[in-house]
Structure 1
Amino acid sequence: MSDLEELQQKVRKLQSRAGTAKMDLHDLAEDLPVGWHRIKAIAGKTFDVFAELDAAKRELAAWEDAR
């Protein structure tokens, strides 16, 4: 598998994780005020995965532009 294919696969996996994290945050928001004490943990996890996804997408774009 080439580096480009590995990076594309990484982006797809991160997109899946980001979607799951987004839904976790959404579910928490719908159930408020129940579970309010989990806001920081779930929001932090969501932030982290979206930051990682953004970095991977930028890396992929730079890789594709360099070709």
Structure 2
Amino acid sequence: MLKLEELKKRVRKLTSCAGIAKMELHDLTEDLPRGWSEVTSVAEKAARAFAALHAAKRELATAENSKWEARFRNI
């Protein structure tokens, strides 16, 4: 159960980080063409944040499915 709670906490943290990265990219694009040289690095940062979030969500879903499968095996 502890692992499940840790994964949920990690997903919440990564969701926040991904949201911040998304807003940084959004703010930068609103100021175009000023700051155009930063677009690539900010976009890469956002992509890494969302990739980490996606991986954590998949890991959480797998852990939750395993929990339910274990319960049904015991019935």
Matching of residue 23 in structure 1 with residue 27 in structure 2: no
Unmatched segments (≥5 aa) in structure 1: none
- Find the aligned partners of 1:4 and 1:62 in 2 and give their Cα distance: 10
The TM-score, its normalising length taken from structure 1, stands at 0.97
Unmatched segments (≥5 aa) in structure 2: 68-75
Runs of 4+ in 1 over 4 A off after TM superposition: none
Percentage identity across paired residues of the two chains: 57
Using the TM superposition, give the Cα deviation of residue 5 of structure 1 relative to its aligned residue in structure 2, in angstroms.
0.6
Larger Rg: 2
Using the TM superposition, give the Cα deviation of residue 66 of structure 1 relative to its aligned residue in structure 2, in angstroms.
0.7
Using the TM superposition, give the Cα deviation of residue 23 of structure 1 relative to its aligned residue in structure 2, in angstroms.
0.2
Q: Look up the SS of the partner of 1:15 in the other structure.
A: helix
Q: Look up the SS of the partner of 1:32 in the other structure.
A: coil
- Find the aligned partners of 2:3 and 2:65 in 1 and give their Cα distance: 14
The TM-score, its normalising length taken from structure 2, stands at 0.87
User: What's the RMSD between the two structures over aligned residues?
Assistant: 1.0
* Greater displacement, 1-10 / 33-42: 1-10
Using the TM superposition, give the Cα deviation of residue 17 of structure 1 relative to its aligned residue in structure 2, in angstroms.
0.2
Partner of 1:8: 8
